[in-house]
Structure 1
Amino acid sequence: MPWSFPIARLFGSELRVHATFFLILIWIGWIGYNQGGAPAAVENLLFILALFACVVAHEYGHALMARRYGIRTPDITLLPIGGLARLERMPEKPAQEIAVALAGPAVNIVIWAVLMLALGGQAAPMDGVLSSEGSLSGFLARLAGLNLFLAVFNMLPAFPMDGGRVLRAALATRMGRVRATELAAMAGRTLAFGLGFLGLMSGNPVLILIAVFIFIAAGAEAQDVSMRALSKRFSARDAMITSYEFLGPDDTLHSAGQALIRTTQHEFPVLDTSGRPMGLLTRQSILASVGDPAATMTRMSALELAPLPCIPLKAPLVDLLDLMHQKNAAAVAVCAPDQRVLGYVTRENLGELMILHSRDTV
């Protein structure tokens, strides 16, 4: 994910933090400082870090359950509104999807139960979770209350919540997976509108941020499932771009800039002298060199290029989608048996293919 950086590797998955995560730390620290000065600010920061440790445990619950079904989780990213486990794919068998979805909230329930036992059954009210009182029991009581809230909130039957995945899996036993996803996504958008309205009325920017995330994620999930359903009918050959310009190892960023102006491409495959893929040069990388004469003379062979994985010409398009997701790649090269590039596929032209054949997916 852009704007994120790795901080650790646990249980085979890279743990990453998004740059915007520090915004919530600043906000929570400021609330504490206004309430009780520096000690309250420090306590609030420790509390939010403890809470996000529970969020990480929640995401690893999903990841470890998915691993039981042979699905890897390349990375888990901490965002201001929670965590995001990037699974290679979601299991399409309803029972497996339900198990993966429930594993996350189950972790929060376990944490809540352990803390409640330690506290003798007393949890803090939800309206006081950011009220610092300086005691360890108060700290743990607030943490217990929020873990229970996380479990309940995540079980709301709407995408992209875990409850939405359970709903989709249950519906998929009675109808097509695409239609089941559309209904769960519709529930997600309805929830987003409700949270957004509540956030506007109460002046709570976090609720508005969560609403925007839910709305976008619900739509993205519906589009992804529709695309996967459609892709099972096509091969990589059917989606690849065959009319394009490429760059060689000795081409410079300056020549790439000229190609950007000359063509309508937003990315350029970089091929070695044998026509095999070295990587992908993106429009952002080209524009980032503007204003630096030395950088514009940098050759492709000296650049850190975006990944450009290779897939056979006759490979099913669904395999291409999986490879794109696994490698977190913006494009996939379509290659001959000797690895020479015959064309490439981007997310954009996959979307165009889906639009052209959208009436075929039911």
Structure 2
Amino acid sequence: MKYSLSLGRIAGIQVFVHWTFLILIGYIVYANLKQGMDTIDILWSIFFILTLFACVTLHELGHALAARRYHIKTANITLLPIGGVAQLESMPEKPKEELVVALAGPLVNVVIAGLLFPVLSLSGGLDDLDVTRFSHHNFLPSLMVVNIWLAVFNMIPAFPMDGGRVLRALLSFKFERHVATRIAASIGQLLAIGFVFIGFFSNPFLIFIGVFIFLGAQGEAQYAQARSLLSGYTVANAVMKQIPALKTTDTVDSASDQLLASQNKNFLVVDHDNVLGTLSRDEIIRALREGKGAESIEGFMDRDFLSLQLNQPLEEAWTTMRTKQKSAAPVFSGSTLVGMLDTENVAEFLMISEATKKD
């Protein structure tokens, strides 16, 4: 994953940490130094954050393993300064299954807090529960409280939190999925506006949370609307039959010439009808910036390309392309190459479908 460091695999799922995580560590060191803390306390603070993000990883793993139960794969888990993201290939369509997957993450935090409670109770760690100022003396109590907070925060009924997905799952028992998504997104946006309003008079951090929730709800609603518009169509309805093709003998310079001479943003790299890879505009520009215009495109093409079938549901193909972060994919009828599908063409198809439905 771009700008991320691999931490290895857990239960067969690749775990990444984004480089911006270093900003969080740097901020913790700065804040602790400003408060006059010594080196030991600073190291304990860093260790606490790392332990907390281990809990976040387990939270995301809960989602991933629950999804695996319904034969849904997880591409990866990425840790960010604001939390973690489990990149599921798709969300369950059945309300009951989505409910299980959405609840699995917060349940992990509840279990962690539940395991810490008897330990602290027996050791007397709850006698003087003060987590307003962290130190190595209240490490476990702080960890328990933060896990409870994570569970509660994630259950706010608003996208992109788990609570938003729980709300959609419950609404989906009565309404169609895209309608349930729209209702859940609207509720989430109302809550977001409330957070922003309160934030102006109390904690400014609530403004950030409100904006985050509002944009997340908006994105989820747009995604659901797009899937609804694509439903019932196949790849054949949006396929580009005039294939923009390049050969491995072509140079990056010649590929850039074709980029300028046409409206194509993606190309298939072929040897006769045998697809060897795909080449995007971004990959061409990157090669040019590296001063490798005279080199063959073979060294810059994406060999790990996605193959689609002409009769494949368009909604499924588009969702897979988004999940795997592929901007283009060759389309086959059986084993015969018949065209290409790219995200820009799907976007145009969506605009046409939406305009047609309004008539």
TM-score strictly above 0.5: yes
The one-letter code of the counterpart of 2:346 is: L
The 5 A counterparts of 1:223-242 are 223-242=222-241
Give the whole-Å Cα distance in 1 for the aligned partners of 2:173 and 2:65.
24
1:310–1:335 contact (8 Å) kept in structure 2: yes
Which residue is equivalent to 1:355? Answer: 351
Which residue is equivalent to 1:338? Answer: 335
The Cα offsets for residues 145-204 of structure 1, whole Å up to 9 and x where unpaired, read as 110000011111111111111111111111111111011112233333344455565675
The Cα offsets for residues 293-352 of structure 1, whole Å up to 9 and x where unpaired, read as 4x1122122225264311121222133134324533222221232342x32222233233
Which residue is equivalent to 1:71? Answer: 72
Q: Secondary structure at the match of 2:335?
A: coil
The alpha-carbon deviation at position 108 of structure 1 amounts to: 0.3
Choose from 299, 315, 320 the match for 2:317. Answer: 320
2:276–2:303 contact (8 Å) kept in structure 1: no
The one-letter code of the counterpart of 2:142 is: R
Give the whole-Å Cα distance in 2 for the aligned partners of 1:346 and 1:212.
31
The one-letter code of the counterpart of 1:230 is: L
Which residue is equivalent to 2:97? Answer: 96
Q: Secondary structure at the match of 1:290?
A: helix
Give the whole-Å Cα distance in 1 for the aligned partners of 2:283 and 2:110.
45
Give the whole-Å Cα distance in 1 for the aligned partners of 2:255 and 2:111.
54
Which residue is equivalent to 1:329? Answer: 326
Structure 1 unmatched runs, 5+: none
Change in 2 beyond 3 A, CA 1:202/1:344: farther
2:243–2:340 contact (8 Å) kept in structure 1: no
Choose from 294, 299, 303 the match for 2:300. Answer: 303
Change in 2 beyond 3 A, CA 1:339/1:209: farther
TM-score (norm. length: structure 1): 0.88
Give the whole-Å Cα distance in 2 for the aligned partners of 1:143 and 1:72.
30
The one-letter code of the counterpart of 2:86 is: A
The 5 A counterparts of 1:1-362 are 2-35=2-35, 36-120=37-121, 122=126, 124=129, 128=132, 131-135=133-137, 138-197=138-197, 204=204, 207=206, 209-243=208-242, 245-266=244-265, 268-293=266-291, 295-305=292-302, 307-325=304-322, 327-340=324-337, 342-358=338-354, 360=357
Q: Secondary structure at the match of 2:246?
A: coil
Change in 2 beyond 3 A, CA 1:257/1:346: same
Give the whole-Å Cα distance in 2 for the aligned partners of 1:246 and 1:203.
55
TM-score (norm. length: structure 2): 0.89
The alpha-carbon deviation at position 38 of structure 1 amounts to: 2.7
1:270–1:279 contact (8 Å) kept in structure 2: yes
Give the whole-Å Cα distance in 2 for the aligned partners of 1:53 and 1:21.
13
Give the whole-Å Cα distance in 1 for the aligned partners of 2:203 and 2:162.
27
The one-letter code of the counterpart of 1:275 is: D
Q: Which segment is superposed worse, 22-31 or 193-202?
A: 193-202
The one-letter code of the counterpart of 1:98 is: L
Change in 2 beyond 3 A, CA 1:209/1:275: farther
Give the whole-Å Cα distance in 2 for the aligned partners of 1:108 and 1:63.
15
The one-letter code of the counterpart of 2:283 is: S
The one-letter code of the counterpart of 2:33 is: Y
Q: Which segment is superposed worse, 148-157 or 231-240?
A: 231-240
Give the whole-Å Cα distance in 2 for the aligned partners of 1:71 and 1:180.
22
Change in 2 beyond 3 A, CA 1:297/1:116: same
* Identical-pair percentage: 37
The one-letter code of the counterpart of 1:176 is: E
Structure 2 unmatched runs, 5+: none
Give the whole-Å Cα distance in 2 for the aligned partners of 1:194 and 1:259.
51
Q: Secondary structure at the match of 1:357?
A: helix
Give the whole-Å Cα distance in 2 for the aligned partners of 1:24 and 1:216.
23
Q: Secondary structure at the match of 2:334?
A: coil
CA RMSD of the aligned region, Å?
Answer: 2.4
Give the whole-Å Cα distance in 2 for the aligned partners of 1:201 and 1:26.
29
Q: Which segment is superposed worse, 116-125 or 2-11?
A: 116-125
The one-letter code of the counterpart of 1:133 is: S
Q: Which segment is superposed worse, 179-188 or 52-61?
A: 179-188
Give the whole-Å Cα distance in 2 for the aligned partners of 1:350 and 1:270.
17
1:280–1:305 contact (8 Å) kept in structure 2: yes
The one-letter code of the counterpart of 2:235 is: A
Give the whole-Å Cα distance in 2 for the aligned partners of 1:198 and 1:19.
32
1:270–1:300 contact (8 Å) kept in structure 2: no
* Count of residue pairs brought into register by the alignment: 352
1:332–1:346 contact (8 Å) kept in structure 2: yes
1:257–1:286 contact (8 Å) kept in structure 2: yes
The alpha-carbon deviation at position 211 of structure 1 amounts to: 3.9
The one-letter code of the counterpart of 1:260 is: L
1:32–1:132 contact (8 Å) kept in structure 2: no
The one-letter code of the counterpart of 2:320 is: L
The Cα offsets for residues 67-109 of structure 1, whole Å up to 9 and x where unpaired, read as 1111111211111111111111111111111111111111100
